[in-house]
Structure 1
Amino acid sequence: MARVVVLRQMPEAEETAAEIRARGHDAVLLPLARTVPLDAPPPFHDVGGFVVTSLQAVRALAAAFPGDPRPVLAVGARTAEALTAAGFGAVEAGPGTAEGLVARAEVLARESGRPLLYAAGRVRTPDFEAGAGAAGVALLVWEVYDVEPLDPGPAGLAAAFPNRESPDVLVLSVGQAEGFAQLWRRIAAEGRSVPRLLCLSERILRALPVDLRPFACISPQPKLSSLFDRFLPLTWDGGIAGDDRMSHDGREQRSRQETEPRHHEPTSATFASEAAGPDDRPEAGALRHGRLCRPGLARDG
């Protein structure tokens, strides 16, 4: 059974923890930030549809445009489900990355002949806006939330990393990668082993300091289900599926990593799932980080 630290904000952290426990693993909540809604009203303009690249923006959009029939582009399946549950009837789920919405946004803007309203956080990656701008898509950006850091304090850290144990840590956003890096600087002096960092994409891995990247694993696809199936498989008979968790070989490797110089990841490594190029394969990124990232075996039957 794996022990997994979840860095997400509430209430999404509780949902993720429930999924981890349903797979037979232990989950510990260690939120590093919280969402703060902003009061700015939406731009007063007729738009052809909406774009949402974060679950955090759904509530504000639904409050301002209840039951709106215009199309909504969602970054992925979970955001699409939340938008549908909030009353939007024409929701289209994207591939899981913000830039993956650009092509559909271009079509939607062209067909409607109007700009699109992008409900977003105050702090965000520029990928979608840059891609939309390059494609000639007119956007109205409405900042609906901000993110404030949280300090888990000594008690939170002790609960997440007790007795120098080295759990897995879910790293699902650039902000979480940056937050964990700051957190790790505080607790590394206590002699703890670096945990296995389960990253949703290689862009997120790139937000980690270079010395932490060799301990990171990359999801084959930028989806939680893909990450879980790859690195946190279902357990049965009280044990872990296959050899995904830190087996004897893995413990030996971690021991060597603690006593030998670490080899930093080549800087020529390319983005997986979030940039174009012939080598953009999440599998390749995961394999670069060695046996720590071996997938578990599928359950028989």
Structure 2
Amino acid sequence: MRVLVTRAEEAGRKTAKRLADLGHSAVLLPLASPVHQPDQALAALAKGHSALAFTSAEACRALLPLRETLVAHQATPVFCVGKKTADAAEKLGFKHIITAEGDGAVLAARVSDEPIDWRSPLLYLAGQPRARGFEKGLDAHAIPFCVADAYRMETVCYDQQGLRERLQDIPVDAVLIYSAETARRFMALPLDVLDGAVFGRSRFLCLSAKVAEALAPGWRERAEIASAPDEASLFTLL
């Protein structure tokens, strides 16, 4: 199958390799690029906190320049969504990593299960834009927290020529879409320049129902939703 990968460049290349290993042909079309903000994370880490939380591996990558500073925080409880984020946190040197499989709301429930003294807040090292499920979940469980934006995702823009060069007017069998923001960025592309044959029969494989809802009507009808919000489940739809 010819599969369009819409993730940021670094993550997209890893996904493309996994697809190739499965016998698929991957086309990279990164729709956003991460801009790391380690200074904001550093300022937040200097304040008192009882635990840390990451909902993306990109936030962990944003902290790579702070490895020496993070030595003082290695024993701090660190909550992560999914194995990939947990693996990225481990590479930073954290020793006490607690993982929840699912989304931000599931992670918030996992945080509430831990016997932590919340006299100091949880520090959520996050990115922009983001869903607010984790923050809403923390509020629901009355867990004090503060947020530092460790990175932001900037839209990668394509003009008509750039889009055609990437896709080469060859039909795409499936489009992998990982977030609602990615879906909105995809719909904002100059898709009208393409022959209808490129996406005319494409399936839009989405990480969740919320992601599918961000597609435009007509396109949304061809959306399929992964059984769990992770790449392995997304691949099972291929």
Give the shorter-chain TM-score range: 0.7 to 0.9
Letter in 1 for 2:234: L
Between Structure 1 and Structure 2, which shows a larger proportion of strand residues?
2
SS in 2 for 1:183: coil
Letter in 2 for 1:126: R
For the Cα contact (< 8 Å) 1:31–1:152, is it kept in 2?
A: no
Instruction: Please say if 1:207 is aligned against 2:220.
Output: no
Instruction: Please say if 1:224 is aligned against 2:231.
Output: yes
Counterpart residue number, 2:43: 42
Instruction: Please say if 1:29 is aligned against 2:28.
Output: yes
The alignment's C-alpha RMSD in Å is: 2.0
Gaps of 5+ in 2: none
Task: Label 1:186 to 1:94 Cα distance change in 2 as closer, same or farther (>3 A).
Answer: farther
Q: What is the TM-score when the length of structure 1 is the normalising length?
A: 0.70
1:169 Cα deviation after fit:
0.7
1:36 Cα deviation after fit:
0.8
Letter in 2 for 1:29: L
Counterpart residue number, 2:139: 133
After superposition, give the CA deviation of every residue in 1:4-59 in whole Å (9 maximum; x if it has no partner).
Answer: 11110021111111100011111111101101112323323221111101111103
Q: Which moved more, 1:33-42 or 1:17-26?
A: 33-42
Query: How far, CA to CA, are the matches of 1:120 and 1:69 in structure 2?
Result: 20
Q: 1:181 aligns with which of 175, 184, 187?
A: 187
1:111 Cα deviation after fit:
3.9
Q: What is the TM-score when the length of structure 2 is the normalising length?
A: 0.88
1:98 Cα deviation after fit:
1.1
Task: Label 1:27 to 1:155 Cα distance change in 2 as closer, same or farther (>3 A).
Answer: farther
Pairs within 5 Å for 1:148-297: 148-183=154-189, 185-187=191-193, 190-192=195-197, 193-228=200-235, 230-232=236-238
Instruction: Please say if 1:17 is aligned against 2:19.
Output: no
- If asked which structure has higher relative contact order (CA below 8 Å, sep 6+), I would say 2
Instruction: Please say if 1:5 is aligned against 2:4.
Output: yes
How many pairs are equivalent? 229
Letter in 1 for 2:226: S
Q: 1:57 aligns with which of 59, 77, 92?
A: 59
